Structure 1
């Protein structure tokens, strides 16, 4: 079984690209960064870490990897960096829990008003996520 222990990333070595298996990471002269010869992505190694981070990306959060000596291992982002699951959780609570409760409390009166309020409250987190993820 191979070790998953991270190794130090050396700027004098070439590594396979974590995005594409065919590409090679080549050190960029006079910087502490790597560039892929195939996908043209730029990767940096933050100071005092063994982590390789993708510099420019369309991904919603920063992608990062650790080198094990033979392969790259993806580092999962923290929950605070994942806006989508949080927004989906808020929408779930509003639509599944709050709307039926509000309809029961309304007693048949103003059902349309409560439904409109629930839909607007469900759209608000979705709008926030869309504004966060768009370029």
Structure 2
């Protein structure tokens, strides 16, 4: 059974390219970065020394990998940071939906709906600001 325990990345060694192209990563002289000889991508080792991050990318989130000794494994710890904010926003939307549904069914629906919409008008920009802040 293989173990996928991460190994510290040696800045003086060369590695296969994590982009799955048959290139090799080689240290760039006078920097703490690696460059691929095939795809021309630049990678930087994070401060802990276990994660390598792609610098120039078209993805909204930076891609990062961990070295297992034989191969690169995609590091998913950066993606896990967005789950709490996604959970908060989803619960906010569900709560607002059920509040609107409850006020439309009440006997004083129009007055309660006006108050609810005013409250939503104040809370929606706050939720939007929270969403923007959680995106970094």
Both structures adopt the same fold (TM-score exceeding 0.5): yes
When the two structures are superposed, what TM-score results if normalisation uses the length of structure 1?
0.67
The reply to whether residue 89 of structure 1 matches residue 90 of structure 2 is no
In 2, distance between residues paired with 1:88 and 1:23? 36
1:3–1:39 Cα change, 3 Å: same
1:98–1:71 Cα change, 3 Å: same
When the two structures are superposed, what TM-score results if normalisation uses the length of structure 2?
0.66
Unaligned runs of 5+ in 2: none
Aligned residues: 131
Unaligned runs of 5+ in 1: none
Report the Cα offset of residue 112 of structure 1.
Answer: 6.5
Show the counterpart of 1:59. 59
Show the counterpart of 2:124. 121
Report the Cα offset of residue 66 of structure 1.
Answer: 1.6
Larger Rg: 2
Task: Kindly report the root-mean-square deviation, in angstroms, between the aligned alpha carbons of the 2 structures.
Answer: 3.6
1:87–1:11 Cα change, 3 Å: closer
